[in-house]
């Protein structure tokens, strides 16, 4: 089992290093991708360190090996800063950033005495209380990462709410949700094994928790690689910025004109059939800024961009469902033809807009046709 795990870790480390280089070659979206590259590099170095320890190549430096463990206090801040820059375009280069890495510095300082002469009083003190020190450090690291995971999820929920203002689909949602779920599995397994160890009930079963932790790291890299290949736009797309923040308030006539042009385009060109339609693209078609288009939709229809677009898609679904050519199509097939990108999104939007489920609508349609 150990050899299989080491093989998986080796392949993950190699892919992580390749991914680190590949992301660096992407010309767009460099600010957030810098943090992503650091995150991938940290995972890769951690896995390489695990391989070196298992090989025994650096076992002659047991005290020095403790210092690289500071990396466990860095994962959380790096991922959080990446999400901030990716999703809300927050300025990262401020003094506040340094505070995110303060716990890592404290850990390094707490381990520094072990680098002193073995007879030095500080070295002897730390060595004498090694178990208690380890319990405190691991518990602090675990709590530290759990706190950052909670911050990541809060940021993700905020993004999910904000994205409806700009997109007719959740662009980063599957990618980020998968990464956060992997981290959650890792921390749950780690928590279980840590508590079992300090409570004295550590056994083969609880050791599985640490095994899972090491298994999650390479799989996180695999997932990043998968999305980099399948959806490269995720690493290129601009974040949700506060555009046109200082644009002067437009009068009602100007906004009404935007809505008039918008309705014409929606009917004549049917951009809603594009499942990846965004506010930015639609604004370009109208030759207006995304900010003004968003305001025109919000004030004129009382809904966000996503709901506005989905109204047209629902209408298209209802139209297609009544055509003879679509009688043999499944509900999902018609929904995809209407511009939706998933069954879940379609069912939710249909219910919210029509106050009926697709099944209820089709049953009524069938009854009316039979009558």
Per-domain residue ranges for the chain? 2-235, 252-370
- Asked if the domains at 2-235 and 252-370 fall in one CATH topology, the answer is no
* C-alpha span between 245 and 157 (Å, rounded): 23
270 dihedral zone (left: phi>0; alpha: psi -120 to 50; beta)? left
Q: Position of tokens 């974040």?
A: 239
Q: Give the closest residue to 296 by CA, choosing from 266, 273, 317, 316.
A: 266
Torsion, CA 147, CA 150, CA 155, CA 157, rounded to 10 = -170
Contact predicate 228/235, CB 8 Å: yes
Residue range 69-107, pLDDT digits in tens = 788 899 999 999 888 887 765 554 566 788 899 999 998
What is the distance of C-alpha 206 from the center of its chain? 29
Mean pLDDT of the residues in the chain: 81
Q: Position of tokens 């904000």?
A: 162
pLDDT at 318 over 90: yes
Residue range 97-155, pLDDT digits in tens = 888 999 999 988 887 777 777 787 877 877 788 788 888 888 999 999 999 999 999 98
State the pTM of this model.
Answer: 0.67
Q: What is the CATH number that goes with domain 2-235?
A: 1.20.1070.10
Strands of 74-178, DSSP E: none
Is residue 160 classed as helix, strand or coil in its secondary structure? Answer: helix
* C-alpha span between 23 and 92 (Å, rounded): 19
* C-alpha span between 195 and 325 (Å, rounded): 61
Residues in the chain: 371
Contact predicate 307/178, CB 8 Å: no
DSSP state of 278: B
Residue range 273-311, pLDDT digits in tens = 998 888 888 888 998 887 788 888 988 888 888 889 999
Q: Which CATH superfamily is domain 252-370 in?
A: Homeodomain-like (1.10.10.60)
């Amino acid at each position: 089992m150990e050899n299989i795990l080491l093989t998986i870790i080796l392949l993950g480390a190699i892919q992580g290093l390749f991914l680190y280089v590949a992301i660096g070659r992407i010309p767009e979206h460099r600010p957030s991708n810098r943090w992503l590259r650091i995150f991938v590099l940290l995972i890769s170095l951690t896995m390489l360190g695990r391989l070196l320890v298992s090989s025994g190549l650096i076992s002659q430096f047991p005290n020095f090996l403790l210092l690289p463990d500071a990396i466990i206090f860095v994962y959380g801040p790096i991922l959080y800063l990446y999400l901030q820059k990716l999703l809300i375009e927050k300025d990262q280069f401020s003094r506040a950033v340094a505070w995110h890495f303060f716990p890592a510095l404290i850990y390094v300082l707490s381990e520094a005495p072990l680098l002193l002469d073995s007879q030095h009083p500080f070295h002897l003190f730390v060595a004498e209380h090694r178990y208690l020190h380890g319990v405190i450090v691991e518990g602090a690291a675990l709590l530290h990462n759990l706190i950052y995971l909670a911050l990541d999820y809060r940021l993700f929920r905020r993004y999910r709410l904000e994205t409806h203002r700009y997109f007719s689909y959740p662009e980063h949602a599957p990618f980020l949700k998968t990464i956060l779920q992997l981290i959650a599995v890792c921390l749950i397994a780690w928590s279980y094994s840590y508590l079992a160890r300090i409570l004295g009930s550590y056994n083969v079963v609880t050791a599985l928790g640490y095994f899972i932790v090491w298994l999650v790291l390479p799989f996180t890299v695999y997932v990043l690689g998968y999305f980099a290949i399948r959806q490269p736009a995720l690493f290129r797309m601009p974040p949700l910025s506060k555009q046109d923040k200082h644009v002067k308030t437009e009068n009602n006539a100007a906004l009404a004109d935007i809505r008039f042009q918008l309705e014409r385009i929606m009917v004549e060109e049917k951009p809603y059939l594009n499942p990846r339609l965004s506010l930015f693209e639609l604004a370009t078609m109208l030759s207006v800024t995304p900010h003004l288009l968003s305001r025109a939709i919000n004030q004129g229809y009382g809904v966000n961009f996503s709901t506005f677009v989905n109204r047209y898609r629902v209408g298209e679904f209802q139209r297609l469902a009544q055509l003879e050519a679509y009688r043999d199509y499944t509900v999902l097939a018609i929904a995809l033809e209407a511009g939706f990108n998933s069954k879940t999104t379609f069912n939710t939007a249909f219910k919210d807009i029509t106050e009926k489920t697709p099944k209820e609508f089709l049953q009524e349609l069938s009854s009316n046709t039979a009558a």
